[in-house]
Amino acid sequence: MIEPNITPELIADHGITPEEFERIKGILGREPNFTELGIFSVMWSEHCSYKNSKPVLRTFPTKGPQILVGAGEENAGVTDIGDGWAISFKIESHNHPSAVEPFQGAATGVGGILRDIFTMGARPILCMNSLRFGPIDGNDEAARRNKRLFAGVVGGIAHYGNCVGVPTVGGEVYFDESYEGNPLLNAMCLGLLRHEQIARGAAKGVGNPVFYVGPATGRDGLAGAAFASRELTEESHEDRPAVQVGDPFMEKLVLEAVLELLQTDAVVGIQDMGAAGLTCSTCETASRAGTGIEIDLAKVPQREPGMTPYEIMLSESQERMLVIVQKGREAEVQRILDKWDLPWAEIGFVTDTGLMRVKNHGQVVAEIPAAKLANDAPVYYRESKEPSYFAKTRAWKLSDLPSLTDPQKVLPELLASPTVASKNWVYRQYDHMVQTRTVVCPGSDAAVVRLKLAPPPAKDRYLAITTDCNGAYCYLDPYTGGAIAVAEAARNIVCSGGRPLAVTDNLNFGNPMKPEIFFQVREAARGITAGCNTFGTPVTGGNVSFYNESPAGAIDPTPVIGMVGLIDDIAHITTQWFKNHGDAIILAGNAVDAADPYLGLGGSEYAKRLHHIKAGLPPHLDLATEKKLQDAVLALIRDGKIKSAHDCSEGGLAVALAECCISRHPARNTPALIGARVDLSAFANGTRLDALLFGEAQSRIVLSVAQESADAVVAQLQAAGVPAAVIGAVGGDALEIRTGASACKWSVNELYDAWWYSITRKMES
């Protein structure tokens, strides 16, 4: 086999800078060969090394009494939920593969995050996903392409998750021009385990055999990590070998076998072969244990003849695991793998050399200090500079926005905006009930699952889970946008009856080498940190996805927050829809935020959708105010006073009220619609009508309570320092909103039709 010479061009092709190459030579004490160059290039890619984001990630709060395994220690963090039980959860992107091949890209994204969780020893009990696409309105070339991507991604998530048998219980989807050509797929998974079941990805015990488990290695997905660390260009569609095909059936077998293996103590360490495949799993396990590892590639099952060491080490074929077995216990491990009909091979052993030594038919083809490879990638403090577009977006004044005269048409239009509209076209394709844990199915503020720790009728435990991020807010002000993502997630948890516990994050940005992009990264992270500190939710892990740019430019900064909350009692579980005729409707929080120069309209769905304006500043957020609101509402829920709670987000108060009326959906084609009469006249004086109805002021929750407890609830909120007022009553078959002299009335049927079928109509036209 003839390997190419190491030329400056080859080095550059591998995304390695001349300084990095010097550093590699320093580590090896010589020039790397071709295989070693490939190994360094994937391990030192942004995707694996976080070289451009580490300094930022270090600023996140990651500690807390609930943290059992912290961020970055292992494949995923582990968080205590009491009584010896724990959860492990994480979010991960698969943006570039999804741009090139949406179905398989999304499917393998789900596969990868599932493996991160079950290698921790946890049984995956739910998935979520956060998606971004270009607009799907109309039928021009671009819209058709966006629809194809959207349909493909959703189909791929469904295909994989449904087959493995993990329910997809929620998520979010936004549509915006900035994601045109660079859609986002962030998949989150959460697993359940006992404290004593936490598994480690460490190659401990010199002499212990190293097993390869799963299907044979092919040329698919060659160097996907490097692919994820580049901008998408016109030529990206030629990056085809980087696309992998997933086999969820195999994943299910691997999952069951791994959990069964971990029940024995015959396994000392385990890691999935995700990004950078065999390379990453071998050097990281050795590095964590402070050992070395030696493997022979001739023993690695291969799908195609003639694969080179370079290809085998860099392949990202799916559904493979590396398992380090206690010496002498091989037979036990083999019995379990055979039971599940899984292919496996013993490919090497743990050494005390600190080296990752790779042989091929006995001949050494790569030899690199494992810890240096895994941990000594350069770390860059990138330059940051305030984006020049701020000058333009901030020059825009609220007075430039024409005033609203006829809200009657606007509300249905906003409800039909794909970002606001019901996502049933998406979630009905996902099995969201398998495992019979889902207590609140998709369609409310957060998903709620029971953990089935105790057989009925004994007391069980419940989790609330949500993902949130508004990219337009982050574009206009990354700090506030980042903080709002956390605040909104926490608000969704609280509205569902939970107390926020911990978060995972997925930082989706453009090219961090550009100072204006890095500014966004740094500021958004600062906002996330502020938010997490406020709500006491440490970051347990996450993922960074840079280079999300298409020829038209970078995506809006999109730091997605996945948050988990604990619900202490079944009675606290709360949903967003109105329940009974006659109940009082209470707005907790200010109708209009006087501290906001844009009155909640900057970056709002209203400004974007109806006026095609993405300018100004995002809604103002005061974290202390937000915390007060959430604490007060949670206390009321715990007191059993609240019948429904819904946070105000995209589309503002009018959309939130409409959703309370139309979002309860007991069965196919059978919504349970309920009207409401609302009077906002008290707030209408001297304020803009558009801000009152559609402004996206933060720190607001729409509650409904029994009429007789309305006064007490308002008093309790006010006593806690939260502005509150009764704004109407539930009932009838129309939503009526009075604002001073004028009033609007919409039949709930009309609103429901606009909201529920909007995405279906667009996808089927």
Partner 1 sequence: MKFGIIQFPGSNCDLDKLWVLQDVFKQEARYLWHKDTDIGDLDCIVVPGGFSYGDYLRTGAIARFSPVMKAVADHAAKGKLVIGICNGFQILCEAGLLPGALLRNRSLQFRCEHVYVRIETQKSPFTCAARTHEIMRIPVAHGEGCYFADPSTIAELKKNDQILFRYVDASGKVVDTASPNGSIENIAGVCNKARNVCGMMPHPERASEEVLGSADGRVVWESILNHLRGVESVPESVLAGGH
Partner 2 sequence: MKAKIYVTPKKAVLDPQGKAVANALHSLGYAAVGDVHIGKYMEIELKTTDPAAARKQLEEMCHRILSNPVIEDYRFELES
Ligand X SMILES: Nc1ncnc2c1ncn2[C@@H]1O[C@H](COP(=O)(O)OP(=O)(O)O)[C@@H](O)[C@H]1O
Smallest separation, CB 488 to Mg ion (Å): 7
131 binds, among Mg ion, partner 2, ligand X, none (CB under 5 to 8 A by kind): ligand X
- Confirm if 605 and 651 have CB atoms less than 8 A apart: yes
Smallest separation, CB 124 to ligand X (Å): 16
Q: How many CB atoms lie within 10 A of CB 731?
A: 15
> Comparing C-alpha atoms, which of 155, 83, 166, 85 is closest to residue 118?
166
Cα→Cα distances 296→210, 281, 284, 361, 417, Å: 10, 14, 17, 7, 56
215 binds, among partner 2, ligand X, Mg ion, none (CB under 5 to 8 A by kind): partner 2
Residue 129 or 360: the one with the smaller Cβ distance to Mg ion is 129
Residue 415 or 554: the one with the smaller Cβ distance to Mg ion is 415
Does 429 participate in binding partner 1 (rule CB under 8 A)? yes
Query: Residue 36 and residue 54: Cα distance in Å, rounded?
Result: 24
x/- binding map, residues 679-708, to ligand X, per CB under 6 A?
A: ------------------------------
Would you give the distance in Å from CA 404 to the centre of its chain? 36
Query: Which residues, in sequence order, are bridge partners of residue 735?
Result: 676, 746
Residue 178 or 197: the one with the smaller Cβ distance to ligand X is 178
Tokens 């697993």, residue? 191
Q: Which one among 456, 685, 686, 741 touches partner 1, defined by CB under 8 A?
A: 456
Cα torsion angle, 329, 331, 334, 338, sign: negative
243 binds, among partner 1, partner 2, ligand X, none (CB under 5 to 8 A by kind): partner 2
Query: Residue 622 and residue 699: Cα distance in Å, rounded?
Result: 8
248 binds, among Mg ion, partner 1, ligand X, none (CB under 5 to 8 A by kind): partner 1
Query: Residue 47 and residue 52: Cα distance in Å, rounded?
Result: 10
Residue 492 or 575: the one with the smaller Cβ distance to Mg ion is 492
Residue 129 or 244: the one with the smaller Cβ distance to ligand X is 129
Does 645 participate in binding ligand X (rule CB under 6 A)? no
Does 696 participate in binding Mg ion (rule CB under 5 A)? no
Would you give the distance in Å from CA 607 to the centre of its chain? 26
Give DSSP secondary structure letters for 153-202. HHHHHHHHHHHHT--EEEEEEEE-GGGTT--EEEEEEEEEEEGGG-----
Smallest separation, CB 91 to partner 1 (Å): 22
233 binds, among partner 1, ligand X, Mg ion, none (CB under 5 to 8 A by kind): none
171 binds, among ligand X, partner 2, Mg ion, none (CB under 5 to 8 A by kind): ligand X
647 binds, among Mg ion, partner 1, partner 2, none (CB under 5 to 8 A by kind): Mg ion
Does 171 participate in binding ligand X (rule CB under 6 A)? yes
Does 423 participate in binding ligand X (rule CB under 6 A)? yes
x/- binding map, residues 86-125, to partner 2, per CB under 8 A?
A: --------------xx-xx---------------------
Q: Which one among 45, 88, 197, 318 touches partner 2, defined by CB under 8 A?
A: 318
468 binds, among partner 2, Mg ion, ligand X, none (CB under 5 to 8 A by kind): ligand X
Q: Which one among 241, 301, 354, 731 touches partner 2, defined by CB under 8 A?
A: 241
CA distance from start to end of the chain: 54
Does 647 participate in binding Mg ion (rule CB under 5 A)? yes
Query: Residue 582 and residue 704: Cα distance in Å, rounded?
Result: 10
Q: Is 47 an active-site residue? A: yes
Tokens 């730091």, residue? 559
Smallest separation, CB 439 to partner 1 (Å): 6
* Options 591-599, 645-653, 664-672, 692-700: segment touching partner 1 (CB under 8 A): 664-672
* Options 56-64, 247-255, 365-373, 695-703: segment touching partner 2 (CB under 8 A): 247-255
Phi-psi region of 195 (alpha: psi -120 to 50; beta: other; left: phi over 0): alpha
Residue 188 or 333: the one with the smaller Cβ distance to ligand X is 188
Residues written for the chain: 765
Residue 49 or 438: the one with the smaller Cβ distance to ligand X is 438
Q: Which one among 8, 29, 65, 666 touches partner 1, defined by CB under 8 A?
A: 666
Give DSSP secondary structure letters for 374-433. HH-S----------THHHHHHH--GGGSPPP--HHHHHHHHHHSTTTS--HHHHTTS---
Catalytic member of 94, 96, 572, 646? 94
Q: Which one among 204, 299, 452, 579 touches partner 1, defined by CB under 8 A?
A: 452
Does 170 participate in binding ligand X (rule CB under 6 A)? yes
Residue 172 or 251: the one with the smaller Cβ distance to ligand X is 172
| Phi (first) and psi of residue 464, to 5 degrees | -115, 140
Query: Residue 224 and residue 94: Cα distance in Å, rounded?
Result: 10
Q: Which one among 8, 29, 362, 455 touches partner 1, defined by CB under 8 A?
A: 455
Does 129 participate in binding ligand X (rule CB under 6 A)? yes
Query: Residue 369 and residue 373: Cα distance in Å, rounded?
Result: 6
Tokens 């406020």, residue? 534
Does 468 participate in binding ligand X (rule CB under 6 A)? yes
Smallest separation, CB 344 to partner 1 (Å): 16
Query: Which residues, in sequence order, are bridge partners of residue 90?
Result: 189
Catalytic member of 14, 47, 432, 646? 47
* Options 72-80, 267-275, 433-441, 708-716: segment touching partner 1 (CB under 8 A): 433-441
Q: Which one among 105, 124, 221, 248 touches partner 1, defined by CB under 8 A?
A: 248
Residue 135 or 443: the one with the smaller Cβ distance to ligand X is 443
Does 158 participate in binding partner 1 (rule CB under 8 A)? yes
- Confirm if 313 and 377 have CB atoms less than 8 A apart: no
Residue 110 or 243: the one with the smaller Cβ distance to partner 2 is 243
Q: Which one among 220, 431, 549, 679 touches partner 1, defined by CB under 8 A?
A: 431
433 binds, among Mg ion, partner 1, ligand X, none (CB under 5 to 8 A by kind): partner 1
> Comparing C-alpha atoms, which of 242, 218, 222 is closest to residue 96?
242
- Structural tokens at position 203: 């190659």
| Cβ-based neighbours of 347, under 8 Å, separated by 6 or more | 210, 211, 212, 295, 296, 297, 299, 300
Does 443 participate in binding ligand X (rule CB under 6 A)? yes
Does 219 participate in binding partner 2 (rule CB under 8 A)? yes
Query: Residue 227 and residue 233: Cα distance in Å, rounded?
Result: 11
* Options 69-77, 383-391, 644-652, 669-677: segment touching Mg ion (CB under 5 A): 644-652
- Confirm if 99 and 236 have CB atoms less than 8 A apart: yes
Query: Residue 721 and residue 699: Cα distance in Å, rounded?
Result: 12
Q: Which one among 294, 319, 367, 445 touches Mg ion, defined by CB under 5 A?
A: 445
> Comparing C-alpha atoms, which of 131, 142, 137 is closest to residue 102?
131
Give DSSP secondary structure letters for 655-715. HHHHHHHH----BTTB-----EEEE-HHHHTTS-HHHHHH---SS-EEEEE-GGGHHHHHH
SS3 638: helix
Would you give the distance in Å from CA 464 to the centre of its chain? 15
* Options 80-88, 194-202, 379-387, 661-669: segment touching partner 1 (CB under 8 A): 661-669
Instruction: List residues near partner 1 by CB under 8 A.
Output: 155, 158, 162-165, 247-250, 252-253, 340-341, 427-436, 438-439, 441, 450, 452, 455-456, 460, 570, 666-670
Residues involved in catalysis? 47, 94
Instruction: List residues near partner 2 by CB under 8 A.
Output: 100-101, 103-104, 215, 218-220, 237, 240-241, 243-245, 247, 249-250, 303-304, 317-318
Instruction: List residues near ligand X by CB under 6 A.
Output: 129, 131, 168, 170-173, 423, 426-427, 430, 442-445, 447, 468, 492, 649-650
